């Protein structure tokens, strides 16, 4: 019996030749899966090992890292380092010193897919920055927006007409920006190609409050949240109207509760204004959603807040009762959806939630919290001392791009990559 057991345990020494001598000899598919499970900081360290490691991190479509949604804000301290990274109740916070950026007095307009949209009022400049790939892209100067009336008044709580209200970015497969759309504070819509010299204005009397790219079209929500205009964009960056989504015809009848005119939505809401609506694109199934935020001030500085979410189906809206395993990172200027499977599990971020960073009273103060569709409650996070211009962000790397779109319309991206 013992001899038979020993016979079964014998291993042919020649089989050891089939075992990789080091981890980089493993199959490429395995290495890619391994890299995707690393954190941002670990991926950056891994990329420094050799050329193969660098290509596994930066030369694949949609380079990403396994991270939880984070809070990012500018630092009020004099620390010159990039990220005073710290954790508060399982939330990673990146505290950035303004000197990290290329110009003085930056203001974070918002974040999207790991990129920050910055505005420099003194230089009249807008910039896209990927903190983790260390890429800075200057967009055309604000004075090239011919549909925006210049303002000489000082910056107020909501900003002058030249201030950016909302933005959207169209990406290639490698998370590199191709095109940007912005809405000024006075509701004017403009678009530009990355590497272009000027903004192309949309000449219309309509005012907009929110935008999103979806299926190579631009969706622009009107400032009164009554309709969403759908545009195709031609080679000259002209916006060609191709459709309209009716959201609500009764919204302007304040203070009455509003009733959505969509044929799918036919019940009055129990909420009155003030409220806000957001366009959000789901990246996996490429679905477009409309998120409505309703809030009412119960007493001074105390709000009751709830959300409704609708899936856009053509020109109709279908109400959903749950987000499933997804999380909406909701900012006033730009929002996105992430999947829980891309995040390490935590007790605070579990899915079917909205991570909110918003100005509920129409001023510059950010209220940060997490709303759960399960119980309909917002869990507000404590004030962040030493932070300002706070936004939710899901960290992503920007890879080295091989797309033809960047060869023809984005020469500055290749220059930034080479530098």
Q: What is the pLDDT of residues 340-358, one digit of tens each?
A: 888 887 888 888 999 998 8
pLDDT of 266: 34
- CB distance 113 to 175 below 8 Å: yes
Per-residue pLDDT, averaged over 72-99, amounts to 71
Reduce the DSSP state of residue 352 to 3 states and report it: coil
Per-residue pLDDT, averaged over 231-237, amounts to 91
User: Which one is predicted more confidently, 21 or 268?
Assistant: 21
Q: Is the pTM of this model over 0.85?
A: no
- Phi and psi torsions of 347, nearest 5°: -80, -20
Tally the C-alpha atoms within 13 A of residue 335's C-alpha that lie toward its C-beta: 27
Measure CA 384 to chain center: 21
pLDDT band at 329 (very low <50, low <70, confident <90, very high): very high
Reduce the DSSP state of residue 68 to 3 states and report it: coil
Tally the C-alpha atoms within 13 A of residue 26's C-alpha that lie toward its C-beta: 12
Joined together, the tokens standing for residue 58 give 């930066």
> Across-strand partners of 319?
310
Tally the C-alpha atoms within 13 A of residue 274's C-alpha that lie toward its C-beta: 9
Radius of gyration of the CA atoms of the chain, in A: 24
pLDDT band at 300 (very low <50, low <70, confident <90, very high): low
Measure CA 167 to chain center: 10
Reduce the DSSP state of residue 3 to 3 states and report it: helix
299-313, 343-357, 399-413 — most confident range: 343-357
What is the end-to-end Cα distance of the chain in Å, rounded? 69
pLDDT of 43: 92
State the virtual CA torsion across 177, 183, 189, 194 in degrees, nearest 10: -20
Residues contacting residue 26 through CB under 8 Å, at least 6 positions apart? 20
Q: How far apart are CA 207 and CA 187, in angstroms?
A: 4
pLDDT of 253: 29
In degrees, to the nearest 5, what angle opens at C-alpha 331 toward C-alphas 116 and 93? 60
Q: How far apart are CA 108 and CA 106, in angstroms?
A: 7
- CB distance 395 to 114 below 8 Å: yes
Q: How far apart are CA 189 and CA 182, in angstroms?
A: 6
Q: What share of the chain is helix, strand, coil (3-state, %, to 5)?
A: 15, 40, 45
pLDDT of 191: 94
Per-residue pLDDT, averaged over 102-131, amounts to 88
Mean pLDDT of the chain: 78
Domains in the chain and their CATH numbers?
A: 19-60 (1.20.1280), 61-418 (2.130.10)
Say which DSSP state 99 is in: G
Distances, alpha carbon 254 to alpha carbons 259, 271, 274, 295, 305, in Å: 12, 11, 9, 14, 18
């Amino acid at each position: 019996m013992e001899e038979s057991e020993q016979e079964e345990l014998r291993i042919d020494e020649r089989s050891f030749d089939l075992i990789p001598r080091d981890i980089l000899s493993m199959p490429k598919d395995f290495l890619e899966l391994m890299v995707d499970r690393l954190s941002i900081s670990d991926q950056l360290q891994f990329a420094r090992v050799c050329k193969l490691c660098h290509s596994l991190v930066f030369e694949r479509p949609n380079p990403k890292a396994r991270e939880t949604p984070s809070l990012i804000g500018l630092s009020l301290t004099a620390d010159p380092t990039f990220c005073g990274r710290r954790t508060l109740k399982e939330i990673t916070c990146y505290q950035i010193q303004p000197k990290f950026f290329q110009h003085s007095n930056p203001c974070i307009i918002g974040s999207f897919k790991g990129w920050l949209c910055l505005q420099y009022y003194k230089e009249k400049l807008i910039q896209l920055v990927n903190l983790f790939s260390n890429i800075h892209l200057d967009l055309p100067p604000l004075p090239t927006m011919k549909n925006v009336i210049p303002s000489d008044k000082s910056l107020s709580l909501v900003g002058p007409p030249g201030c950016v209200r909302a933005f959207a970015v169209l990406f290639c497969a490698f998370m590199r920006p191709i095109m940007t759309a912005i809405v000024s504070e006075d509701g004017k819509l403009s678009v530009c190609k990355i590497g272009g010299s000027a903004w192309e204005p949309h000449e219309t009397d309509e005012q907009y409050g929110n935008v999103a790219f979806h299926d190579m079209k631009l969706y622009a929500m009107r400032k009164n949240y009554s309709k969403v205009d759908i545009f195709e964009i031609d080679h000259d960056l002209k916006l060609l109207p191709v459709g309209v989504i009716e959201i609500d015809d009764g919204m302007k009848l304040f203070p009455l509760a509003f009733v959505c005119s969509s044929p799918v939505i036919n019940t009055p809401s129990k909420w009155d204004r003030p409220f806000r609506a957001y366009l959000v694109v789901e990246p996996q199934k490429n679905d477009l959603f409309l998120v409505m935020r309703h809030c009412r001030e119960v007493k001074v500085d105390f709000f009751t807040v709830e959300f409704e979410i609708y899936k856009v189906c053509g020109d109709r809206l279908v109400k959903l009762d749950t987000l499933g395993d997804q999380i909406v990172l909701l900012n006033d200027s730009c929002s996105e959806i992430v999947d829980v499977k891309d995040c390490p599990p935590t007790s605070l971020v579990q899915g079917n939630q909205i991570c909110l960073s918003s100005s509920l009273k129409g001023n510059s103060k950010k209220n940060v919290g997490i709303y759960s569709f399960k119980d309909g409650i917002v869990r507000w996070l404590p004030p962040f001392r030493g932070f300002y211009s706070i936004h939710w962000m899901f960290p992503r790397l920007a890879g080295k791009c091989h797309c033809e779109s960047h060869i023809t319309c984005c020469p500055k991206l290749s220059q930034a990559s080479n530098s």
